[in-house]
Amino acid sequence: ETSITELSKATGAAEGTIFYHFKNKEDIFLSILDDTRNRVIEEFERYLKEGEFDTGLDMIESAISFYFYLAGMMEEQFLLLHRRHPHELAEVNPVCREHLEAIYNCFVNGFEQAILLGQKDGSIRKMSPKKTALIIFSMVDGLVRFKTYNLYNAGALHKEFMELCRRMLQKKQIQE
């Protein structure tokens, strides 16, 4: 538990100013989570919108790589998302739940969009786009958590992870 006095010292803002803008520490946390939501979604959606992809398979591979990049670029935000507290709070606080769902849905929907494009252009085999997007998100986020908690260098697995995803998705299996 961080006290308001500690927040005041860390931010340079007077305690009264903090209380003027926020009713309590939960409001402060929700404001930080809202900012995280806006920044993460803006970056990921911009990448998908502005990116030039030859196929859906290229798009999902690029989106996965961008997720790794984004997690490194926004390390503090991903550390926040990977903590237990936001998920426990989301069980009882609908605003917190809405923020988390928006962030996770942004990634899953982006992956699903790439899978649908790949199925349309023939680069990705027929499978459930939503379920596959959820599985890919779970795997990539799991690797990022390794890095977040300093358990394993996720970058060391990037090549193998991308190959695994390619093999799982590709319509025509890679011959060895």
Residue 126 confidence (pLDDT): 97
pLDDT tens string 35-87 = 999 999 999 999 999 999 999 999 999 999 999 999 999 999 999 899 998 99
Tell me if 175 is assigned to some domain.
no
Between residues 152 and 161, which one has the greater pLDDT?
161
Range of the domain at 59: 24-169
Distance CA 22, CA 3 (A): 14
Q: Is residue 10 over pLDDT 90?
A: no
Q: Is residue 12 over pLDDT 70?
A: no
Residue 22 confidence (pLDDT): 62
Q: Is residue 6 over pLDDT 80?
A: no
Tell me if 7 is assigned to some domain.
no
What is the widest separation between alpha-carbon atoms in the chain?
A: 66
Tell me if 8 is assigned to some domain.
no
Q: What is the CATH number of the domain that holds 41?
A: 1.10.357.10
Which residues, in sequence order, are bridge partners of residue 124? 170
pTM of the model: 0.85
Tell me if 114 is assigned to some domain.
yes
Tell me if 11 is assigned to some domain.
no
SS3 label, residue 108:
helix
What total of structural domains would you count in the chain?
1
DSSP state of 175: P
User: Which contacts (CB < 8 Å, 24+ apart) does range 116-120 have?
Assistant: 116/56, 117/53, 117/55, 117/56, 117/59, 118/55, 118/56, 118/57, 118/59, 118/60, 118/169, 119/56, 120/56
